[in-house]
Amino acid sequence: EVFMKYDCTLIEVNPMGETHNGRVLCVDIKLNFDENADFRQKDIFALRDVSQEDPRETQASKNGLNYIGLDGDIGCLVNGAGLAMATLDVIKLYGGNPANFLDLGGGASAAQVTEAFKLLNSDKHVRAILVNIFGGIMRCDVIALGLLKAATELG
């Protein structure tokens, strides 16, 4: 009921406990909400505390990017979640450590590509950036324009 009513994408209860009289209690819970439902869930989204979030993830979200920071040194700019996960796996297979999961998706603009590259470049742990784009879901000229603009702006 809660999942559907509040547009949740995740409800994780861990741990649960049972009192001596049989009452079940949730000791800790994590709730994630569908960001596309913010217009329906204004009260919930008003509670968001970005100071509790990774600033890189907050910045990516502002630019319409899917980003999760990791602890490696190879930045990844990829389109499509499946290709992104496969890219991370290949990096690990060959002894590298990915610094992030960043999915541009299939409809990114050149400005989003530029912001994604700037985001990766701002991570002090990143020593290299791997760009892996599947041209079947993303126009490669848009990727190229975004990368050129980022390179020009970053010097």
Cα–Cα distance between 96 and 17 in angstroms, integer? 41
Q: What is the pTM of this model?
A: 0.76
Q: What share of the chain is helix, strand, coil (3-state, %, to 5)?
A: 40, 25, 35
Yes or no: say if 119 and 93 are a contact pair by the CB < 8 Å rule. no
Q: What is the predicted pLDDT for the residue at 35?
A: 86
DSSP label of 98? B
Q: What is the pLDDT of residue 131?
A: 96
Q: Which helix (H) or strand (E) holds 9?
A: strand 8-13
CA angle at residue 115 from 51 to 33, to 5 degrees? 45
pLDDT score of 2 more than 90 = yes
One-letter amino acid at 69 equals: G
Greater confidence (155 vs 111) lies with 111
In this prediction, residue 25 carries a pLDDT of 93
For residue 129, the model assigns a pLDDT of 97
- Of 63, 57, 62, nearest to 110 by C-alpha is 63
- pLDDT band of 83, cuts 50, 70, 90: very high
- pLDDT of residue 128 exceeding 90, the answer is yes
Q: What's the pLDDT score for residue 50?
A: 87
By percentage, how much of the chain surpasses pLDDT 90? 88
**3-class secondary structure, 78:** strand
